[in-house]
């Protein structure tokens, strides 16, 4: 299942991924990795708010790529735009969530 997180993808708190790889793209959009930044409207005080998890089976310059359901510093979960028909509450039930 393709459940990569890319620049501009959202979170279950209504935020979005604001940084991503300069070199790795999928579907024309930059792929996000562990350590990339997230903006969260529910937790604007959390700085830096970064992606805490990544799939070490796929890396970009040593940084594991982020997948649907991975956590950020503020506690929100990432929501991949590549997956349709799922609510944010389904994030932890997907293969690769929490990897």
Q: The whole model's pTM is what?
A: 0.83
94 in a structural domain = no
pLDDT over threshold 70, residue 89: no
The predicted pLDDT at position 98 comes to 47
Tokens 């799939």 found at: 55
Contact 42, 54 (CB under 8 A): no
86 in a structural domain = no
* CATH number, position 61: 2.60.200.60
What total of structural domains would you count in the chain? 1
The predicted pLDDT at position 1 comes to 58
Q: List, in order, residues 6 or more apart from 47 with CB less than 8 Å away.
A: none
Q: Which domain holds residue 74?
A: 1-80
């Amino acid at each position: 299942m393709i459940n990569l997180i890319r620049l501009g993808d959202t979170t279950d708190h209504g935020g979005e991924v604001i940084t991503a790889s300069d070199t790795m793209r999928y579907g024309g959009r930059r792929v996000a990795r562990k350590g990339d930044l997230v903006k969260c409207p529910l937790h604007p005080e959390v700085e830096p708010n970064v992606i805490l998890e990544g799939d070490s089976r796929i890396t970009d310059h040593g940084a594991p790529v982020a997948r649907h359901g991975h956590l950020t510093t503020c506690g929100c979960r990432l929501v991949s735009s590549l997956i349709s028909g799922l609510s944010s509450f389904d994030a932890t039930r997907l293969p690769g969530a929490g990897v």
